[in-house]
Structure 1
Amino acid sequence: MSNLKNDRFLRALMRQPVDRTPIWMMRQAGRYLPEYRATRAQAGSFLDLCKNTELACEVTMQPLRRYPMDAAILFSDILTIPDALGLGLYFEEGEGPRFHKTVRCEADIDALNDFKAADDLSYVMDAVSAIRNELNGEVPLIGFSGSPWTLATYMVEGGSSKDFARVKAMAYDQPEVMHKLLALLADAVADYLNAQIAAGAQAVQIFDTWGGSLSASAYKVFSLKYMQRIIAQLTKEADGRSVPVIVFTKNGGQWLSSIADCGANCVGLDWTTDIGSARQQIGSRVALQGNMDPAILYASPARIREEVATILESFGHGSGHIFNLGHGVTPGVNPDHVKAFVDAVVELSPVYHQAVAR
């Protein structure tokens, strides 16, 4: 199981030499693909799709059939843990995720279900195993979870939020309650990611989608601290290889140095941070992932290629760069524009990995 035909993604995460810059996309299996929409319709709902091993495997593989991606990412949702904890996840059309129950006080935390990932989220592990088998060593598989702070925002707010008023009120006014929730979530996420690694994930990403909503001091206390707690517990090696960890905090560019010290192998960047500046600041410590604005994919193929060239030039020569979007690909994007994006990385990046002539 350890033999990979294409390992440039894993090598770049460890800042080892590669022949070209590897590429994958956040939400690369998604609604922009007509075949995904057809499979989701077949499943009946988004949650049913996540919980159907065969169909979750199918949609994970769909973008790999279209594009020369260097990694697959498990098809699932970041809110699987809160759902398993007993909050009752559901999706309102046009409204996003919602929970039947919320966490508003310490008693609500105490009422949460006990959690063991291998049992409570066995459908995720079944999908990981099925995808690894289907990949047959072509490219590595990425597992993932939401960060404790991000999961807490949904659990306290009851769904998506524009101002995070309730969760921030808890953090600032009842910090001991918030820390109790975050500690529980950090240990649950560590267990969840380790179960994914045991099932076959070869790298993992922590999505700290809403960490950037915090102030600088609050970010370190309520978000980064708990991602460090997760990373300290993770399985370090599987299949005879290191299992790299990527941390992605959206809008976290102002905290790059602190994030680089959290124990992750790679820091994901959104599009608001210049990747060349980030490399100067932290690129000697970690790999960097990113960071084209997903909206560029609405532009012409020529403009997309131009943006890819700009980002490659900004990062410069050498390994340690995984090309990605600065956030997930959006549903209205033309799949042909994604092809132009991926093809541009494949064609333009090799020159940045040629040995410098002496």
Structure 2
Amino acid sequence: MNDRFLKALLREPTDTTPVWLMRQAGRYLPEYRATRARAGSFMALAQSPAMACEVTMQPLDRYALDAAILFSDILTVPDAMGLGLSFAEGEGPRFAHPLRDEKAVAALEVPDMAKLQYVFDAVEEIRGALALRGDKTVPLIGFSGSPFTLACYMVEGGGSDDFRTIKTMLYSRPDLLHRILEVNAESVAAYLNAQIEAGAQAVMIFDTWGGTLADGAYQRFSLAYMKRVIEKLHVEHDDRRIPSIVFTKGGGLWLEQIAAIGCDAVGLDWTVNLGQARARVGGRCALQGNLDPNALFAGEAQIRAEVAKVLESFGPVDAGVGHVFNLGHGISQFTPPESVSVLVDAVHEYGRRMRLPRA
């Protein structure tokens, strides 16, 4: 098994820098678009364990990636809460029943995990497909949205440019938002633990919208609830450690505080200097990131140069540190697939070179 991804998260020695990509199974791949068309809708694709397995495996068939990530959506949890999730073509997610008043918030409950069995079935099916790769098998990452990021969609009713509705609640009725976040934290912990029981070998919390919060509000309404989730996670399964990653887009300001909540790795967007981040966390956890996704629209030579910059910024991989190469956010749907080949090969080649004995 290729376990360099897990070793890097646990700050153990690796032969090169591991790499995987956020949204690595997605619209930039023609084979994904074909499967999506066959499914008929995004929800039909996400709720079919066989199809979720198929698209999870597609990037691994093309590239020498060091991890697979479950194909799903961060909004499965609020959908199971009965908020009525739908995806309109070209418009993104929508909830039929957003949380806008005391009655709706009071009625919110942790969902029955049986409603999410299709996700856990997909995890099991993907693990089976990965096992067939023999020595080339890689670990499977499970994931969830953070309590606050889920709350953004649940209150706004969908995506938002200014988060006016949830921030109005935050400032005028913080008690309501805390109630939503308490339920979400319990739900996310149960959801991730069920993924671990089904076979996920690492888990990641995507705090996509935490970075939109003011300092102070971030700690109270996002970080505190991610800490609750981390504290409830199973840290071992089948006698193996299950590492956790936390990623707040736009969260570089709070790096030390994120590293202190007990996660094994902190994901970084492209605005953060990786070498400085390494010094700031002081060996408390591994780091993941952080190439600008738009670098993949450059030519081969420039992609290789940008990869080298990221790896050189992190610096020598000494004992007790860990780095997983990734993009600073999800890969663009317009990315040329051949650019990903260049990226993955460059990370592995340069990572090996950096581990050669220094004169």
TM bin, normalised by shorter chain, reads over 0.9
Task: Extract structure 1 runs of 4+ deviating beyond 6 A.
Answer: none
**Could you say if the C-alpha distance between residues 152 and 125 of structure 1 is closer, same or farther in structure 2, counting changes exceeding 3 Å?**
same
User: Matched residues in 1 for 2:121 and 2:162: separation?
Assistant: 36
Q: Which amino acid aligns with 1:27?
A: R
What residue in structure 1 maps to residue 353 of structure 2?
351
User: Matched residues in 1 for 2:253 and 2:73: separation?
Assistant: 27
Tell me if the contact between 1:210 and 1:250 (Cα under 8 Å) persists in the aligned partners.
yes
What residue in structure 2 maps to residue 126 of structure 1?
121
What residue in structure 2 maps to residue 115 of structure 1?
111
Question: Are 1:98 and 2:97 counterparts?
Answer: no
Tell me if the contact between 2:80 and 2:112 (Cα under 8 Å) persists in the aligned partners.
no
- Secondary structure of 2:15's partner? coil
Question: Are 1:84 and 2:86 counterparts?
Answer: no
- Secondary structure of 2:64's partner? coil
What residue in structure 2 maps to residue 149 of structure 1?
148
- Secondary structure of 2:205's partner? strand
What residue in structure 2 maps to residue 210 of structure 1?
209
What residue in structure 2 maps to residue 272 of structure 1?
271
What residue in structure 1 maps to residue 322 of structure 2?
320
Deviation at 1:355, TM superposition (A): 5.1
- Secondary structure of 1:246's partner? strand
What residue in structure 1 maps to residue 164 of structure 2?
165
More displaced 10-residue stretch of structure 1: 236-245 or 139-148: 236-245
Question: Are 1:251 and 2:250 counterparts?
Answer: yes
Tell me if the contact between 1:17 and 1:353 (Cα under 8 Å) persists in the aligned partners.
no
What residue in structure 1 maps to residue 2 of structure 2?
6
**Could you say if the C-alpha distance between residues 113 and 226 of structure 1 is closer, same or farther in structure 2, counting changes exceeding 3 Å?**
closer
Deviation at 1:109, TM superposition (A): 1.9
Structure 2 residue runs of 5 or longer lacking an equivalent are none
Tell me if the contact between 2:110 and 2:187 (Cα under 8 Å) persists in the aligned partners.
no
User: Matched residues in 2 for 1:42 and 1:220: separation?
Assistant: 43
Question: Are 1:56 and 2:49 counterparts?
Answer: no
- Secondary structure of 2:152's partner? helix
Tell me if the contact between 1:142 and 1:203 (Cα under 8 Å) persists in the aligned partners.
yes
Deviation at 1:47, TM superposition (A): 0.7
TM (norm. structure 1) is 0.97
More displaced 10-residue stretch of structure 1: 101-110 or 138-147: 101-110
Structure 1 residue runs of 5 or longer lacking an equivalent are none
More displaced 10-residue stretch of structure 1: 283-292 or 224-233: 283-292
User: Matched residues in 1 for 2:261 and 2:144: separation?
Assistant: 16
- Secondary structure of 2:246's partner? strand
What residue in structure 2 maps to residue 198 of structure 1?
197
User: Matched residues in 2 for 1:298 and 1:356: separation?
Assistant: 33
TM (norm. structure 2) is 0.96
What residue in structure 1 maps to residue 37 of structure 2?
41
Deviation at 1:21, TM superposition (A): 0.3
Q: Which amino acid aligns with 1:96?
A: G
Question: Are 1:68 and 2:64 counterparts?
Answer: yes
**CA-to-aligned-CA distance 1:187-225 (integer Å, 9 cap, x gap):** 000000000000000000000000000011000000000
Q: Which amino acid aligns with 1:82?
A: P
**CA-to-aligned-CA distance 1:10-32 (integer Å, 9 cap, x gap):** 00000000000000000000000
**CA-to-aligned-CA distance 1:70-103 (integer Å, 9 cap, x gap):** 0000000000001000011111222111111100
More displaced 10-residue stretch of structure 1: 345-354 or 119-128: 345-354
User: Matched residues in 1 for 2:282 and 2:275: separation?
Assistant: 9
Deviation at 1:314, TM superposition (A): 0.5
Deviation at 1:239, TM superposition (A): 2.3
The two structures, once aligned, show a CA RMSD in angstroms of: 1.0
Deviation at 1:356, TM superposition (A): 5.1
Tell me if the contact between 1:283 and 1:320 (Cα under 8 Å) persists in the aligned partners.
no
Q: Which amino acid aligns with 2:230?
A: I
Q: 2:16 aligns with which of 6, 20, 23?
A: 20
Deviation at 1:112, TM superposition (A): 3.2
**CA-to-aligned-CA distance 1:95-121 (integer Å, 9 cap, x gap):** 11111110012211233355132x010
Deviation at 1:333, TM superposition (A): 0.5
- Secondary structure of 1:267's partner? strand
**CA-to-aligned-CA distance 1:304-340 (integer Å, 9 cap, x gap):** 1000000100001114000000000010010001111
Identity of aligned residues (%): 59
**Could you say if the C-alpha distance between residues 83 and 12 of structure 1 is closer, same or farther in structure 2, counting changes exceeding 3 Å?**
same
Tell me if the contact between 1:235 and 1:243 (Cα under 8 Å) persists in the aligned partners.
yes
User: Matched residues in 1 for 2:196 and 2:138: separation?
Assistant: 15
Tell me if the contact between 1:289 and 1:323 (Cα under 8 Å) persists in the aligned partners.
yes
